[in-house]
Structure 1
Amino acid sequence: MRQTWRWFGPPDLTTIDDVVQTGAEGVVTALHHVPYGAVWTPQEIALRQQQVATRRDGTPSGLAWEVVESLPVSEAIKQQEGAWREHIANYKTSLQNIAAAGIEVVCYNFMPVLDWSRTDLRHRLPSGATCMRFDINDFAAFDIHILARPGAVEDFPESVVAMAAQRFGAMSEAQRLAIGRNVTMGLPGATAGLTLDEMRAHLIAYDGITPDRLRQHFVDFLSEIVPVAEQLGVRLCCHPDDPPFALLGLPRIMSTEADYQTILAAVDSPANGMTLCSGSLGARSDNDLPGMMRRLGSKVHFIHLRNVKRETAAQFGSFFEAEHLNGDVDMVALIAEIVAEERSRKAQGRSDASIPMRPDHGQDILDDLNRSAQPGYPTIGRLKGLAELRGVFAALERQQ
């Protein structure tokens, strides 16, 4: 695996000097400040490359921008409304500029409105570490009582509805505001989340867009973009839904192996691939991560390795982000399948035999607890995860 590290640009509390010390071989980043649907210009791309390549004292870092995460797909494209055709044209231009800069892997997602959703961004564990957590009862309290989404009560089991009412009744005003901020935090790298009114407006815009319709919009997007990417030598890889089940009445179409099989087959190309995120997919008990890597491995262009601990036996429910080797995802078995896929690629002579991987998220530990870092992206917690994953990979790679 090609060991990479996600960096959110100059505002990131983890500096490029820090990334060098982690032992990461490359950097995953994006132009977070560019509005969705706009073109990524050669000048902006070159500036970010220069920032990645330079330490604080001006000397070379030895690192390069190797993976784009993410080149966002606008809501207009997902809804096929407004300036969506212009946004597709701009997306193609951005891909051309990215390829011209020598970057070959582009991660993106097709999730409506939010890239991820958690109810607690600093959940305290018995060890004193903190992590991100999704509590189904707290989420239902937000959806039914705070956001007051019409029909929300029908989307949850009766037991959850009852518990949500109890939780909401016990919350202070400050707690209600906090859970609203957490759920609507928005996108990784974003400086602010959505207001409740903005969230309601987004939900209204998706009224009538069924999963089948959103899936067709996705295929339409790929039919336009993938031929361009293939010509440029760019490998596109779609990130799964996070969490991988329906929320807020929005359609979810990239939550299971069957979802990926459908999309990969609909536009069959070496350029149309998958970001295998073990944490996102692992939040569902019916997702077999080692099996998915074994069956879909040839189309996996990027890997996020993190773990989750599901708190109930239900297929959809509460979970928290666990230590990388200590959750419900069998990380050793998954990495064994990654090693097998890379050996297969080497035997085939593929130029992408080493798949870029980054340690995804992590628990805030030690001095992480004294910072206000991007939720889910602590420096020391991710470094611990990378060290553990690196050790498993090294041991398995030596086996014949």
Structure 2
Amino acid sequence: MKATWRWFGPSDPVTLADARQAGAAGIVSSLHHIPDGEAWSEDEVQRHAETIGAAGFRWDVVESIPVSNEIKVRGPYRRRHIDNYKTSIASVGAAGIGVVCYNFIPVIDWARTDLRYPLPSGLALRFDLADFAACDLFLLKRKNAAAAYDAAMLAEAERRFRAMSPERRAALEATVLAPLPGGTVAYSSQEFATTFARYEEINEDDYRETLLEFLREVVPVAEEHGVRLCIHPDDPPINLFGLPRIAGSIAQLRRIVSGVRSPSNGVTFCVGSLGVRSENDLPAMVRELGPDIHFAHLRNVTRESDTVFHEAEHLGGSSDMAAVVFALRREELRRKIEGRRDDQIPFRPDHGHLMLDDVAKADTRPGYSAIGRLKGLAELRGVISGFDLAVEQGLRV
């Protein structure tokens, strides 16, 4: 497995030199300055790749080329945005970058309700559906929002909202509407309402078919240019705002992979996202999806309940990280025997805790401080080394 590091570009307070000291061997990055739906030129991609190369790294994974709302809702500019996406894939392939991670989450890319939840190991990201519902109902005041929640959740959301200070209400709304770290789309409450209105009445089957139509268009281009696309699971993999999320279970991922069968249509295996759902058997999912896993996010979550979770330490939490890593290493060994060129799966530590002297820094991105990810990467490399030593000694793993 190749240890990689998420780098957000020249403005990232965690530098490429820091990534080197942390033990990374490759870089995951994107062209965050290009708006969603616009094309990436070969020159833009090459310049970014050269910056990464000058630091002694290879740009291994693009995370991500964002899929615009126009594509997701079949808007009037959908055709142009899909053509631009094809151009971007071709530019990435021309630079020799073999993997593109993307997501197809409606409206917002991820959802958290607390970015600094205190734990003994530092400050963590957390999601609580009751707080989310309070924001949806009473801060965003989304039309017909109550229909998305049962009576008990409606009552708890109202209780939570009434108990919140003005400062907490403002922080909660900003957190719910915050873009992915490095993302280009940040909504005001009015912009959110306008965007959400474009998604109303979309059901799961329709939304999945929109994704498959998109893949039927772009996967042949990825094949032509030697690029492997891999969808990131929904984060979290539960329906929010009453909208369908279509990449959070083995059945859903199976439909996506089989819907456009190609070596260029695969999955980003995110332990944290998939681990939110207790019914997901993660090692079994790796065994089934293994040939189609092109990238891995190795982070962990602790499920406090069916509707509440927080980011755990990488080897802690509710998912057996060691079992997942062992399953991924077995897949790599299978690929090597098969003679696949992609017999090494890139992975990165994700969403480290904010800890030690990073806590006082004003410019850290939520989940992407240096020390928490360094700690996680060190732990993960230890697990991988343990697996490899056991294999060398002929032990059953």
Which TM class, normalised by the smaller chain length? Answer: over 0.9
Structure 1 Cα separation of the partners of residues 42 and 32 of structure 2: 15
Q: Shift of the alpha carbon at 1:150?
A: 2.3
SS at match of 2:27: strand
SS at match of 2:277: coil
Instruction: Please give the per-residue CA displacement for 1:191-230, whole angstroms capped at 9, x wherever unaligned.
Output: 7731111111111010122111111111100001111111
Equivalent residue, structure 1, for 2:86: 92
Instruction: Please give the per-residue CA displacement for 1:110-144, whole angstroms capped at 9, x wherever unaligned.
Output: 1111110100011112x261010001111111111
Equivalent residue, structure 1, for 2:319: 329
Letter in 2 for 1:189: G
Letter in 2 for 1:89: D
- Report the count of equivalent residues: 390
**RMSD over equivalenced CA pairs, Å:** 1.1
Do residues 343 (structure 1) and 333 (structure 2) align? yes
**Is the deviation greater in 84-93 or in 184-193?**
184-193
Instruction: Please give the per-residue CA displacement for 1:273-311, whole angstroms capped at 9, x wherever unaligned.
Output: 000000011111111111100111000000000000011
Q: Confirm or deny: 8 A CA contact 1:255 1:281 kept in the other structure.
A: yes
SS at match of 1:399: helix
TM-score by length of 2: 0.96
Structure 1 Cα separation of the partners of residues 356 and 172 of structure 2: 25
Equivalent residue, structure 1, for 2:117: 123
Percent same amino acid at aligned positions?
A: 49
Structure 1 Cα separation of the partners of residues 140 and 242 of structure 2: 12
Alignment of 1:79-158 (within 5 A): 79-125=73-119, 127=120, 129-158=122-151
Equivalent residue, structure 2, for 1:58: none
Letter in 1 for 2:288: R
Structure 2 Cα separation of the partners of residues 192 and 214 of structure 1: 21
Structure 2 Cα separation of the partners of residues 87 and 191 of structure 1: 15
SS at match of 1:14: coil
Q: Shift of the alpha carbon at 1:190?
A: 3.0
Structure 2 Cα separation of the partners of residues 186 and 146 of structure 1: 18
Structure 1 Cα separation of the partners of residues 121 and 4 of structure 2: 27
SS at match of 2:40: coil
Structure 2 Cα separation of the partners of residues 377 and 192 of structure 1: 18
Do residues 239 (structure 1) and 232 (structure 2) align? yes
Alignment gaps of 5+ in structure 1: 55-60
Q: Confirm or deny: 8 A CA contact 1:27 1:64 kept in the other structure.
A: yes
Structure 2 Cα separation of the partners of residues 265 and 29 of structure 1: 28
Alignment of 1:184-203 (within 5 A): 184-190=177-183, 193-203=186-196
Letter in 2 for 1:134: F
Q: Confirm or deny: 8 A CA contact 1:181 1:193 kept in the other structure.
A: no
Equivalent residue, structure 2, for 1:57: none
Alignment gaps of 5+ in structure 2: 392-397
Equivalent residue, structure 2, for 1:14: 14
Do residues 352 (structure 1) and 359 (structure 2) align? no
SS at match of 1:279: helix
Equivalent residue, structure 2, for 1:367: 357
Equivalent residue, structure 2, for 1:388: 379
Instruction: Please give the per-residue CA displacement for 1:219-270, whole angstroms capped at 9, x wherever unaligned.
Output: 1000011111112111110001000010012221111110110011110001
Q: Confirm or deny: 8 A CA contact 1:115 1:188 kept in the other structure.
A: no
Q: Shift of the alpha carbon at 1:53?
A: 2.4
